[in-house]
Amino acid sequence: MKFRRQDIPVSVADTVQAAGIVDLGLVDYSKAYDLQQRLAERRKSGLLAEDLFLVTEHPSVFTLGRRGGRENLVVSEQFLKDKNVQVVQIERGGDITYHGPGQLVIYPIIHLKKAGLSVTEYVGLLEEIMIRLAAECGVKAVRDPRNHGIWVGDKKLGSVGIAIRHGVSFHGLALNVNVLLEPFSWVNPCGLVGVKMTTLTMECGQEITIPIVKKELNRYLTDVFGREFVTLAKDHPDVTMCKNK
C-alpha cells in the first residue's frame, strides 16, 4: 500500500517520495522489536511499498548490541531482575544501552538503496534529527567522533544504533527527553567508561516532555529526509498485519 496525504495535489504527491509515520506510544521492547523485524521483511519483499517510521517509548530495558556488553553492566543481573528491568540481546550495532519512559525512540524501516543512502549518510541523518529537536528546545548538541549519537559537552544526550538486513535498516535513535538517568549509572553506557548521560530537561533547566518534542517531529523529519510524511494510525493495515496474533 502506498502512503499518500489527502491534502496535497496528486501531481505534487507523485514527485515527492512518501514515507509513513506511526506513533505506537509506550510499547514493550520485545513487541516493538518483533514488529520491526516483520516490517523490515515486508519492506525487503516489496509488500511494504514505502519506508515506515515507528515512534515509541519503552518500559525500562537494557539492550545489548552486536558487540555484546554484559561486561559493561556494573550491577548484577539479579539486581536488574529485582528492579523489573529486562536485558535483551539484539543485532543492532553498538554496545549496551538503556531505554525507558521519557526517552523518544524512533525506528525507521528504510530501504537504504532505494532511498539512495549510504550507511554513513543515514547515521548522519539520524543524528541531525536529534540535533534539530534539541535545538528546538534551546539545547545546542553536537556530534562527537568517539561515538555515534549527540552530545552536550562531555554528556551524551542521544544514541544511534542500527541493523541492516538485505538492504533494509531497522532500529534507530533514542533521544533522552525527561527519562530517569539512574539506570544509566548501572552500566557503562554504549560501552564507554566514565561517560555521563543527560536529558533535554536537565539541559534546559525546565521540564521538557515527549509531547513537546513530538510537536515538531514531522517537520524536522520532512526537512532532513526530504520526504512527505503521512501519519498512520496504530491500526493501519501495514502495522496491524505485522503484529503477533
Residues annotated as catalytic are: 190
Whether residue 195 contacts residue 188, with contact meaning beta carbons closer than 8 Å, is answered with yes
Assigned C-alpha cell, 110: 528504510
Please tell me whether residue 48 adopts helix, strand or coil conformation.
coil
Q: Using CA atoms, how far apart are residues 109 and 164, in angstroms rounded to an integer?
A: 10
Element (H, E) at 229: strand 228-232
* Residue in 72, 162, 38 with CA at minimum distance from that of residue 108: 162
Q: Other CB atoms closer than 10 Å to residue 166's CB: what's the count?
A: 11
Q: For the packed helices 217-225 and 119-136, what is the interaxial angle rounded to 10 degrees?
A: 150
Whether residue 84 contacts residue 155, with contact meaning beta carbons closer than 8 Å, is answered with no
